[in-house]
Structure 1
Amino acid sequence: MKVLHVTECYAGGVSRAMNTLAAIYEGEHHLLWAGEDSPPGAFVSSQRLPDGLLERVRSVRRAVATIQPDLVHAHSSWAGVYTRLLPIGVPVAYEPHCFVFDDPKRPTYLRAAYWAAESALSVNTNVTIALTPHEAKLAKRLRPLNRVRELPNVATVDLSLARSAGGGTGSERYTVSMVGRVARQKDPEYFAEVALAAKRAGASWRFVWIGDGNDAASRIVLANAGVEITGWLDGAELVETLQRSDMYLHSASYEGFPLSVLDAAALSIPIIVRDVACFEGFDLMKASTPEDATRRIRTVATSLEVRRDLTEKSRALTARMSVEAQRAGLDAIYREAIA
């Protein structure tokens, strides 16, 4: 099968997820992209998207005419626009990697506008790929006749690197990490509030944001709270930095299903996630307010029994969202889309 992948956010979790799909699924993978990462050899060809909405729509049409794929796989919202604004003559599988209208911090009128746009574009969608039951429900509400199929994300780290149950890093300061872009969706302000709440509670923990971004205001908020920002790290550096973490705290206000949570789970790092809709149905420790997160971190830090319990939850999550499950799910979705 010949697949053309399209994205305008080839960086961070999206690029890692796309690289995994191209590596595990037998076929001919091509890439049309914009972003900060560099494509690996898993793609037969890769071409940068030009600037401008209309130019990118035309670029997709030219790539389809040249490559003649069996299927176009659009990753994230803007790629969904470029590939579905007009019919392109081949089936389109759309993977939103979370819907923007699900952002609780955006004004109601903006969320309604994004909803309307997604609903209109869904007419030119053969199948929508959802990462969680929550995302699948949102996709079905957009257009009840839509074909929506769930596909598990998978960890991008070597499972053999997992630490022993309840094991720590042995570092002098207890380290709490978050992986992601310094951007609205990942809610760095929430992470900063947890760091400040921990200081008020007398904890001397170290807080690390693994990633970077152009949101200067949020970077200042993190820095003022004493959070270290590592900048973008390559795969090996990312794993090494995660391994030095005693706790992984995911602060995002809305998500598809974050790869960073799966990577932390694969390394058997204790995980706390923010209690948001994407994690419904997943057996993870959840926190609501920053103060709640601080209390839960202290519980994990001081209890070997709790750390061992979280290790078991991580192993169950890794088994549920495995490479084998993703490969089989992707094959079924692609075949359904082109049928």
Structure 2
Amino acid sequence: MAQFHMNVKAEPDPRFVFQFDGAPECSPQVFQLRGNIRQPVFTCKFNFRAADRNQRSRSLPSEHISAARSWLSSFGSERERPGKERKGWSITIHDLSGSPVAVASMVTPFVAGPGSDRVTRSNSGCWLILRPGDGTWKPWGRLEAWRERGSADGLGYRFELVHNSAASGGIVLAESTLSCSKGGKFVIDLNGNGATGMKPGSAATSPVCSPRSSGDFGYALWPYSLYKGFVMSAKVEGEGHSGKIAPLMVEVGVQHVNCMEDAAAFVALSAALDLSMDACRLFSHKLRKELCPPQDLLF
């Protein structure tokens, strides 16, 4: 079983550093970086929820599937607009034993606004981030994304922690815009100081204990008081990149990781934000084949 390793080094703001070994839609491995060491800790599985409805993962019990679908329907909004929608994307994070430890699922489709070829803020798409707790799946966070109009042409986003009730209001942890052409850094820093520069290969320190699973530590579903200072950051590529795409890099404050599921939730959130850059691409532009449902590739 993968563990987060300890690096005994005094730092004022210790962080775990994770690197995707490919684009999220390519179902990559995720590595933890410790200096020059890259250790695999997670695997990702991207799929289309509608197409995968009858193909249950061997590692996802049927009762978990039912619970997850219940949350997805209660938080989501089905909108049909043939030819101008992107829907059903889902990415599951597994630990190295194959057990699912977090899910990011598109619960509200990304559709073009009336008379437009872009996803507008009034018509934003939405992801729900789920994690296991008390023997079932429970909602942890909700990410909305849209494409801003005007000269900025940015990816607007809003992330909030949610309770296990769609009627309960969430607490917003991040709301900003990233450049669609250049990309940028998604940051949750409750001190308002911003994150330090992303440093591929920078050393990541670990908690005193190397966590294994949430069963060892318990999971507070509504842990607002636990989120202080720097929480996380993720570097997202824009549409205007040339040549090889830089791997998705994620930093998570050590104080916010007590178990594998904690880290996996932030990894799933980062993947959802990265995929939102594609989901908000102008509908006049084609998506990469990995992001197109199998039936669409026949035409």
Q: What range describes the TM-score normalised by the shorter chain of this pair?
A: under 0.3
User: TM-score, normalised to structure 2's length?
Assistant: 0.25
User: TM-score, normalised to structure 1's length?
Assistant: 0.23
Structure possessing the higher relative contact order (Cα contacts under 8 Å, 6 or more residues apart): 2
Larger radius of gyration: 1
Q: Which has the higher helix share?
A: 1
Q: Which has the higher strand share?
A: 2
